[in-house]
Amino acid sequence: MGKSKLLFITHEMSPFLELTKISEITRQLPQAMQEKGFEIRILMPRFGNINERRNRLHEVIRLSGMNIIINDNDNPLIIKVASIPAARMQVYFLDNEEYFQRKHVFTDKEGKFYADNDERMIFFCKGALETVKKLGWSPDIVHCHGWMSALVPTYIKTTYKDDPTFKNSKVVYSIYENGFTEQLNADFSQKAVMNDMTEKNTEIFKSGTNDALHIGAIQYSDAVVLATDQIDTEVLNNVKNSQKPVLSFDSTADFENYYNFYDEITDDELVNVA
């Protein structure tokens, strides 16, 4: 049997983009799991304030050239890659001129929440899954970090549920402190609908709040990580009521608890009993 394959999807990672503690976890956890024998892939957006030259990003021609459709508009997807030499890990960056080539990440220079953050999120989640398909790499576990990845569990369990790349994947969603206090556009949940889905599949996201994204991701995930103790009561109640495997936020230095957690949710006997 080959190595277990573990995919990380995140909007930030050290040293490329450091906004919150997510960037530390997504830098340290993949390396720890690689050292324990996992095969790792990491995907994140190529935001405009990520320095291409300093981080030695270069385009992966064989992966670029796809179009991601949002609201009947074709949006070109460019894939770039960079290495972390100390960890022997590669990070794939999803780029699009309209959505990501800005000096700021989620708010403009005045601190105003970008009006198209909903479409940027949809683009990233769709693009991430299409990129993994094009890699020809089937992850055993997909671990989503932060609100910008919250649609990934939904897509894997609906549009991609019979796709050979993802049909056997277990999805883990890590809940962090609220990334924003604004609301995504009122038609966000309609825009998010993909093939083989209906608006009923995305109705849970309709209010467009940070909590709604967490709650929707919990519903479609196989397991949940509480990555902070600052989680809204309604979200915590949804975790509890979901009766899904949960890992608490107090992590061990070598991430042994994550290793055991991944092992638990991919154990066929345990899954079959459940």
- Mean of the pLDDT values across residues 248-270? 78
Condensed to tens digits (0 to 9), the pLDDT of residues 189-214 reads 999 999 889 899 999 999 999 999 99
Question: Residue 116: what pLDDT?
Answer: 93
Quick one: pLDDT band at residue 55, thresholds 50, 70, 90? confident
- Mean of the pLDDT values across residues 246-255? 75
**Structural domain count, the chain:** 1
In terms of residue numbers, what domain contains 118?
Answer: 5-273
Q: How far apart, in whole angstroms, are the C-alpha atoms of residue 44 and residue 47?
A: 9
Structure tokens at 199: 């608006």
pLDDT greater than 70 at residue 66: yes
Condensed to tens digits (0 to 9), the pLDDT of residues 126-175 reads 999 999 999 999 999 999 999 999 999 999 999 999 999 999 999 999 99
Question: Residue 85: what pLDDT?
Answer: 73
Q: Are 123 and 66 in contact (CB under 8 A)?
A: no
- The CATH number of the domain holding residue 107 is 3.40.50.2000
Condensed to tens digits (0 to 9), the pLDDT of residues 218-235 reads 999 999 999 988 899 999
Structure tokens at 250: 């107090």
Q: Provide the whole-model pTM.
A: 0.94
User: Which one is predicted more confidently, 190 or 249?
Assistant: 190
The pLDDT > 70 percentage for the chain reads 95
Residue with the two structure tokens 């909007």:
11
pLDDT greater than 50 at residue 274: no
Quick one: pLDDT band at residue 253, thresholds 50, 70, 90? low
Structure tokens at 206: 């309709």
Condensed to tens digits (0 to 9), the pLDDT of residues 87-133 reads 888 999 999 999 999 989 999 999 999 999 999 999 999 999 999 99
> Across-strand partners of 247?
225
pLDDT greater than 50 at residue 273: no
Q: Are 80 and 59 in contact (CB under 8 A)?
A: yes
Q: How far apart, in whole angstroms, are the C-alpha atoms of residue 89 and residue 175?
A: 24
Report the 3 state secondary structure along the chain.
CCCCEEEEEECCECCCECCCCHHHHHHHHHHHHHHCCCEEEEEEECCCCCCHHHHCCEECCCCCCEEEEECCEEEEEEEEEEEECCCCEEEEEEECHHHHCCCCCCECCCCCECCCHHHHHHHHHHHHHHHHHHHCCCCCEEEEECHHHCCHHHHHHCCCCCCCCCCCCEEEEEECCCCCCCCCCCCHHHHCCCCCCCHHHHHHHCCCCHHHHHHHHHHHCCEEEECCCCCCHHHHHHHHHHCCCEECCCCCCCCHHHHHHHHHHHCHHHHHHC
Question: Residue 270: what pLDDT?
Answer: 44
pLDDT greater than 50 at residue 272: no
Q: How far apart, in whole angstroms, are the C-alpha atoms of residue 138 and residue 274?
A: 23
Quick one: pLDDT band at residue 251, thresholds 50, 70, 90? low
Q: How far apart, in whole angstroms, are the C-alpha atoms of residue 239 and residue 237?
A: 5
Quick one: which of 78, 81, 82, 83 has its CA closest to 95? Answer: 78
Quote the crossing angle between the two packed helices 256-266 and 22-35, to the nearest 10°. Answer: 70
pLDDT greater than 90 at residue 81: yes
CA-to-CA dists, residue 114 to 106, 171, 194, 214, angstroms: 6, 28, 23, 20
Q: How many CB atoms lie within 10 A of CB 73?
A: 10
Averaged confidence pLDDT in the chain: 91
